[in-house]
Amino acid sequence: MKAHLMYLDRDFNLQRVLPSNEQALMQDLELDILFNSMACGDEFLYRVAKHAVLSGLQDDLETILYRQDVLKDCLMNHAVAKSIYDIAVESIESKKGSWFGIFSHCPTSILYDAINLLQMLIGMLKKLKLIADEHSDGFESKGFSTFFMMLKTELTDEYFASIEHHLTELKFEEGVLVSAELGIGNEGANYVLRKSLTKKPGWIQRMFEQGPPAYTFHIHERDEAGAQALSELRDRGINQVANRLAQSTDHIMSFFVMLRTELAFHIGCVNLHDRLFQKGERASFPVPAPPGAHYHSCLGLYDVCLALSIEQPVVVNSLAADGKNLVIITGANQGGKSSFLRSIGLAQLMMQCGMFVAAESFSANICQGIFTHYKREEDTAMQSGKLDEELCRMNDIIDTLIPNSMLLFNESFAATNEREGSEIARQIVRFLLETPVKVFFVTHLYEFAHGLFEQKIENALFLRAERQADGRRTFKLLEGEPLQTSYGLDLYQEIFGK
Amino acid sequence: MNFHSILFEQPSDMKRGAATEAPPFFHDLNLDQIVDAITADRQEYDLKPFFHTPLTDLAAITYRYQIMRDLENTLLFKNIKAFSQQMLTMRQHLIVAEKLSYKYQKEREFLYAVEIYGDAVKNLLQDMYREEPNSRGLLAFRAYLAEYVESSQFKTLLNEAEKLKSELSSIRYCLLIRDNSITVRNYDSEIDYSAVIEETFAKFKQGAVKYYSVQFPDFGMNQVEAQVLERVALLNSDVFNALDHYCTNYGSCIEKTITDFDREIQFYIAYLEYIETFKMAGLKFCYPRVSDTCKHVSNREGFDPALAHKLIDEKSAVVCNDFFLQGDERILVITGPNQGGKTTFARTFGQMHYLASLGCPVPGSEAQLFLFDHLFTHFEKEEDIKTLRGKLQDDLVRIHCILDQATPNSVIIINEIFSSTTLKDAAYLSRKVVGSISQLDSLCVCVTFLDELASLNEKTVSVVATIMPNNPTMRTYRIERRSADGLSYALAIAEKYRLTYERLKERIKL
């Protein structure tokens, strides 16, 4: 039995390796804010959210669509999804109190614990089955339909009855019947628990009385060593079945763990959706395109992390960059460039893990990697100088760069004079243009930006942070030629007064 | 062809018996280290006595060389090692059988040991047919083995064991454990209940989970298990009676000739494994021509295995040296700087002759060696308080003792004799000693600081430990055949430290 609420045909693996630039992505795209909003204070939800979002880059188009559908169902049936999640959580929590399997080295007690735990888990499975019977009609996605269908076919009343029958049998009221062979040194070996096909009460005893020759001996009450040896022999007999039963509880437990993990992602998304809805921000399901082709267009795109951190409404932007693989963003300081760049990265990550995005509409091709190269304020590596540090990070990116990636540069290579910085940027971007990657570059390096503009490259797009005639900023980005100044004076004047 | 022993072709070759004590020169020649290393992993075979006993007959040496060459066939070598491993396992089972407390346990272990023994013997014979050894020793042993394997005694031994084994392993019984009673009866195709349980829960299977089966500590059979076994024996009395009978009849079925072979063949295996490490490091071993008449001994690319062993461990280079004696030459006189490889060279000469007398390959790419009757060494000793003699006196007592016993067929190694007396005394005494050895016509190596010994008479040959010409403190560890020139060496060292007359005058203006 599988939950399969993340992938059509496999489990969601929390152990999967995250991109090597996980740290940089977290920092540059402010992902912490996003994950916290999804988690609502729940550590587990945070962990799953982080993992799902960052590992989404490795998934394909079909998976994105599959997950979108499951998520849509969850948004439609919020309460039911939550109650399934709660059952999974309760099942897992209930094991934590028992000592089961951790300290026990005795098959008898392993078996005893396993039977008790199973009885509890069976109760949980029955609850799950009930939900399936009552609510499955309200769900449309392939993921949930399959899930409910599975519960209905696998967990029949007959099945529950047969489990309960076995759990009674395993109390061995008639004694333990074991077969054995002669192993090394004629010692008993290959102990296997047996059950006769006859089922009437007292069958074993009768069979021994009427059947072929049998020899019975008794251990004297006061023979402690004998009693010890006898119970060890009994333990050898039930060792295997205790193992099997304990493993079965683990398997059922793993089912609940997987169910909880996979639903946790969707619950996190629902949480985020609620937050945005409360704030009056829009969210929509994006249209992913296969990797390779350059698609990137959107309406009403905003920086979800900014929206989650401030009270007032945030600025939205549109982009029509289909067929482009280089977007150069220039313009005024504090003009919304960084926020725009982050919204591009966030939307890409959210789309690829199957989430909705913070936009009115959004469509883009899948990227197999997202890399950020941001100017770092703090200089952690004092000995190496700023430009050196920047180039070192650039070197790391180039080391791990894969085709169909997206690179987000924010004020890169500004740690030296403009000419040198421009030349470095120019050479790097020139190289990147010849590879199958998509580049968004926020820059003040006029020589660099203008030089590219002059080249009239067909698949390059130039955006500029808008400034109105009176010097006020709208935080909107419009298509436009890079300009020489970046309105730092404006800002100075605004802050210090005219 | 009668097989006697894989180490000694004739009973007479063993006439001296195997010596448990190491010969007196073992320590001086580092042979103790060498033999320790060879036998280290094979303590249980007690091989040292064989390495302590040189052969005195050329044919006996050839007998071993042939076998050694056969075993350089790596397949045969592996086969024989596998045989030894099986014999070892068999012995372990016999030991276990001794220690067990219940009869049917002991008997089953014994049966197992016999089975392993039978396999070991049969496999070995097959291997020896396939690998076709050429040596007299292995051919004779193979003939013996073939006869033994065909014997009805051996065949019955194994057939009956096989039959018993299969009957025992087909026994299956059931236990019904209820409260404090156990009922034993034969198995009657009841179903496996664990499998039923697994099947019931199969639909939840999610991948690897923890293994909850308990490992029961093996304290051997307890009294309840023994009681169960007794009932199983009652249920299957035919099989268990036959088992009793078998063990009574074949209690001592392991052939001594085969156990002796198993022990003695280790001599070869141990030695070949020992020299393999040197071969891997690019050093050579060869089968020397050994003579008991011709004293024109020679060797190319020889080395001291004890020293080489350390150097290889440290990944340092091993320097090899050559020597030869021709015409009337009998005595190699070695001079040169300290730490220049003189003692090592002298040891190498002694080791080589000793190893050849054991019938073992010797270090070097080729060698012509002499089969000695006695080997004597005279190395400097720590002053021994117990003897209450002065060092010079001690030296003289020891050398006298050697000269007393030495014959023209002896090999004598002398290292730094008379270093505790005046130069004049030392020169005089040394001339006397070396003179006596010359007269005796024994083979001798003499390490000395006395240059004049090197040109004492027509029997002495001068060899010198060399240095790097441009850096006198650097040793080459090469020993070359040329006239002794200790003085120029001393001057070179003095020059280096600016202690020559000229240099001292330049350095200090007083």
The model's pLDDT over B182-226, given as tens digits with 9 standing for 90+, comes to 999 999 888 899 889 889 888 888 777 788 888 887 777 888 999
pLDDT of residue A491: 42
Q: How far is CA B76 from the centre of its chain?
A: 18
Asked whether residue A351 falls in the same domain as residue A271, the answer is no
Residue B331 within a domain: yes
Q: What are phi and psi of A181, to 5 degrees?
A: -130, 175
Asked whether residue B192 falls in the same domain as residue B119, the answer is no
pLDDT of residue A130: 94
CA of B236: which chain A residue's CA is closest? A213
Among B479, B417, B415, residue whose Cα is nearest residue B25: B415
Question: The tokens 């004020």 sit on which residue?
Answer: A411
Asked whether residue A207 falls in the same domain as residue A264, the answer is yes
Q: Does the pLDDT of residue B508 top 60, yes or no?
A: no
Q: Cα–Cα distance between A139 and B464 in angstroms, integer?
A: 99
How confident is the model over B274-298, as pLDDT tens digits? Answer: 999 999 999 999 999 999 999 999 9
Q: Does the pLDDT of residue B387 top 90, yes or no?
A: no
The two structure tokens encoding residue A51: 């993992």
- For every residue of A58-120, DSSP letters joined together read GS-HHHHHHHHHHHHHHHHTHHHHHHHHHHHHHHHHHHHTS-TTTS---HHHHHHHHHHHHHH
CB atoms within 10 A of CB A37: 22
Q: Does the pLDDT of residue A461 top 90, yes or no?
A: yes
pLDDT of residue B507: 57
Averaged confidence pLDDT in chain B: 87
Asked whether residue B293 falls in the same domain as residue B436, the answer is yes
How confident is the model over B231-246, as pLDDT tens digits? Answer: 999 999 999 999 999 9
pLDDT of residue A472: 65
Close Cβ partners of A425 (under 8 Å, ≥ 6 residues apart): A409, A412, A413, A441, A443, A445, A448
pLDDT of residue B335: 87
The predicted model gives B317-337 an average pLDDT of 92
Give the pLDDT band (50/70/90) at residue B500: very low
Asked whether residue B489 falls in the same domain as residue B377, the answer is yes
Q: Where are the alpha helices (DSSP H) in A280-314?
A: 304-309
Q: How far is CA A265 from the centre of its chain?
A: 6
Residue A186 within a domain: no
CA of B206: which chain A residue's CA is closest? A251
For chain B, give the percent of residues with pLDDT over 70: 89
Q: Which residues form the domain of A50?
A: 1-177+199-280
CA of B231: which chain A residue's CA is closest? A215
Residue A312 within a domain: yes
In chain A, the number of structural domains is 2
Asked whether residue A250 falls in the same domain as residue A319, the answer is no
Asked whether residue A13 falls in the same domain as residue A50, the answer is yes
Residue B430 within a domain: yes
Q: How far is A83 from chain B (nearest CA, A)?
A: 21
pLDDT of residue B472: 58
Asked whether residue A347 falls in the same domain as residue A444, the answer is yes
Q: Where are the alpha helices (DSSP H) in A196-223?
A: 203-210
CB nearest B171 (choices: A11, A181, A252): A181
User: Domain boundary residue among A280, A302, A325?
Assistant: A280
Asked whether residue A228 falls in the same domain as residue A300, the answer is no
Q: Does the pLDDT of residue B106 top 50, yes or no?
A: yes
Asked whether residue A170 falls in the same domain as residue A63, the answer is yes
Asked whether residue A205 falls in the same domain as residue A348, the answer is no
Averaged confidence pLDDT in chain A: 86
Asked whether residue A400 falls in the same domain as residue A449, the answer is yes
Q: Which residues pair with A465 in a beta bridge?
A: A331, A477
Q: B227 CB near a chain A CB, below 8 Å?
A: yes
Whether residues B188 and A243 touch (CB distance < 8 A) is answered with no
Q: Mean pLDDT highest for which of A192-206, B375-389, B428-442?
A: B428-442
Asked whether residue B319 falls in the same domain as residue B428, the answer is yes
How far are the Cα atoms of B18, B35, B260, B376 from residue B41, in angstroms, in the given order? 20, 11, 18, 29
Task: Tell which wins on pLDDT, B506 or A335.
Answer: A335
Asked whether residue B198 falls in the same domain as residue B153, the answer is no
Strand segments (E) across B325-419: 331-335, 362-363, 366-370, 375-378, 411-415
How far are the Cα atoms of A311, B226, B233, B333 from residue B105, in angstroms, in the given order? 84, 9, 12, 68
Chain B (77-106) residues lying within 8 Å, Cβ to Cβ, of chain A: 96, 100, 104-105
Residue B209 within a domain: yes
- For every residue of B119-137, DSSP letters joined together read HHHHHHHHHHHHH---SHH
Instruction: Quote the Cα angle for A96-A102-A104, to 5°.
Output: 125
User: Domain boundary residue among A234, A256, A280?
Assistant: A280
Residue B247 within a domain: no
Asked whether residue B435 falls in the same domain as residue B307, the answer is yes
pTM for the whole structure: 0.62
H or E stretch at A179: strand A176-182
How confident is the model over B341-353, as pLDDT tens digits? Answer: 888 999 999 999 9
Q: B501 CB near a chain A CB, below 8 Å?
A: no
CB atoms within 10 A of CB B481: 12
- For every residue of B181-200, DSSP letters joined together read EEEEEE----EEHHHHHHHH
Asked whether residue B103 falls in the same domain as residue B206, the answer is no
pLDDT of residue A43: 95
Close Cβ partners of B406 (under 8 Å, ≥ 6 residues apart): B374, B376, B412, B437, B440, B442
Close Cβ partners of A378 (under 8 Å, ≥ 6 residues apart): none
pLDDT of residue B280: 94
Residue B437 within a domain: yes
Give the pLDDT band (50/70/90) at residue B369: very high
Among B162, B158, B160, B183, residue whose Cα is nearest residue B173: B183
Q: How far is B158 from chain A (nearest CA, A)?
A: 18
Residue A118 within a domain: yes
How confident is the model over B72-93, as pLDDT tens digits? Answer: 999 999 999 999 999 999 999 9
How confident is the model over B118-134, as pLDDT tens digits? Answer: 999 999 999 999 999 99
Residue A185 within a domain: no
The two structure tokens encoding residue A423: 């030349």
Residue B91 within a domain: yes
Q: Does the pLDDT of residue B409 top 80, yes or no?
A: yes
The predicted model gives B31-37 an average pLDDT of 95
Asked whether residue B57 falls in the same domain as residue B133, the answer is yes
What CATH number does residue B491 fall under?
Answer: 3.40.50.300
Asked whether residue B378 falls in the same domain as residue B451, the answer is yes
User: Domain boundary residue among A234, A263, A280?
Assistant: A280
Whether residues B183 and A186 touch (CB distance < 8 A) is answered with no
Whether residues B212 and A192 touch (CB distance < 8 A) is answered with no
Residue A405 within a domain: yes
Q: Cα–Cα distance between B381 and B398 in angstroms, integer?
A: 11
Asked whether residue B194 falls in the same domain as residue B150, the answer is no
For chain A, give the percent of residues with pLDDT over 70: 86
H or E stretch at A406: strand A405-410
CB atoms within 10 A of CB A450: 18
Burial A220-249 (b: 16+ CB within 10 A, else e): eeeeeebeebbbbbbbbbbbbbbbbbbbbb
Burial B210-230 (b: 16+ CB within 10 A, else e): eebebeeeeeebbebbbbbbb
In chain B, the number of structural domains is 3
Whether residues A170 and B197 touch (CB distance < 8 A) is answered with yes
- Tell me the one-letter amino acid at B349: F
The two structure tokens encoding residue A391: 């180039």
Q: Cα–Cα distance between B302 and B367 in angstroms, integer?
A: 9
Asked whether residue A156 falls in the same domain as residue A87, the answer is yes
pLDDT of residue B496: 53
Answer whether B207's CB lies under 8 Å from A15's CB: no
Whether residues B185 and A215 touch (CB distance < 8 A) is answered with yes
How far are the Cα atoms of A317, A416, A474, B53 from residue A314, in angstroms, in the given order? 10, 33, 11, 99
How confident is the model over B151-177, as pLDDT tens digits? Answer: 999 999 999 999 999 999 999 999 999
Q: Does the pLDDT of residue A496 top 60, yes or no?
A: no
Answer whether B239's CB lies under 8 Å from B164's CB: yes
How confident is the model over A383-438, as pLDDT tens digits? Answer: 344 666 677 788 888 888 888 999 999 988 776 666 677 878 888 888 888 888 89
User: Domain boundary residue among B208, B231, B264?
Assistant: B264
Residue A194 within a domain: no
Asked whether residue B211 falls in the same domain as residue B294, the answer is no
Residue B39 within a domain: no
Residue B4 within a domain: no
How confident is the model over A94-124, as pLDDT tens digits? Answer: 876 655 555 467 898 889 888 988 999 999 9
The number of residues in chain A equals 498
Asked whether residue B133 falls in the same domain as residue B181, the answer is no
Asked whether residue A250 falls in the same domain as residue A287, the answer is no
A225 torsion bin: left (phi>0), alpha (psi -120 to 50), beta (else): alpha
pLDDT of residue B288: 97
Residue A455 within a domain: yes
Q: Cα–Cα distance between A97 and A90 in angstroms, integer?
A: 12
Among B472, B264, B454, residue whose Cα is nearest residue B359: B264
CB atoms within 10 A of CB B75: 10
Q: Cα–Cα distance between A325 and A403 in angstroms, integer?
A: 13
Q: Which residues form the domain of B217?
A: 172-221
How confident is the model over A336-389, as pLDDT tens digits? Answer: 888 899 999 999 999 999 999 999 999 999 999 999 998 775 444 333 446 666
The number of residues in chain B equals 510
How confident is the model over A171-221, as pLDDT tens digits? Answer: 888 889 999 999 888 888 899 999 865 555 555 565 555 666 889 999 988
Answer whether B239's CB lies under 8 Å from B38's CB: no
Asked whether residue A269 falls in the same domain as residue A288, the answer is no
Q: How far is A43 from chain B (nearest CA, A)?
A: 24
Residue A184 within a domain: no
